[in-house]
Amino acid sequence: DAEITQSPRHKITETGRQVTLACHQTWNHNNMFWYRQDLGHGLRLIHYSYGVQDTNKGEVSDGYSVSRSNTEDLPLTLESAASSQTSVYFCASSEAPYNEQFFGPGTRLTVL
């Protein structure tokens, strides 16, 4: 069955370190998204991609970057982790804009 996976599921890191969160989907979806979820804010869009070599900034993109070298993967990089980036990160994919987004299981990141 097609699926979307994230790794690691849990990560503890220190302020200033570079961190990369992986997202892999086997739906063959062109559209992929990264969100963060924090209490009181709901899910907020960090970056999204409509296809290979395409990336776009979302609502809360500062301090984050993504790259899309193939259809299946959209890794999210925190260039220099900050305590404010402690959150739960969800990756999602969809077949097309307006369509249902399928979410991965999430990565719980703690920055000390």
Partner 1 sequence: RKEVEQDPGPFNVPEGATVAFNCTYSNSASQSFFWYRQDCRKEPKLLMSVYSSGNEDGRFTAQLNRASQYISLLIRDSKLSDSATYLCVVTSNTGNQFYFGTGTSLTVIP
Q: Does 27 bind partner 1 (CB under 8 A)?
A: no
Give how far the C-alpha of residue 52 lies from the chain's centroid of Cα atoms, to the nearest Å. 16
Q: Which stretch binds partner 1 (CB under 8 A): 10-18, 56-64, 65-73, 78-86?
A: 56-64
What span, in angstroms and rounded, lies between the C-alpha atoms of 25 and 109?
20
Of 5, 41, 82, 83, the one binding partner 1 (CB under 8 A) is: 41
∠ CA 38-68-65, nearest 5°, is 45
Do 103 and 91 meet the contact criterion of CB atoms below 8 Å apart?
yes
Of 23, 66, 85, 90, the one binding partner 1 (CB under 8 A) is: 90
Helix (H, G, I), strand (E, B) or coil at 92: strand
* Smallest gap from residue 42 Cβ to partner 1 (A): 4
Binding site for partner 1 (CB under 8 A): 33, 35, 40-45, 48, 50, 56, 58-59, 90, 97-98, 100-101, 103-106
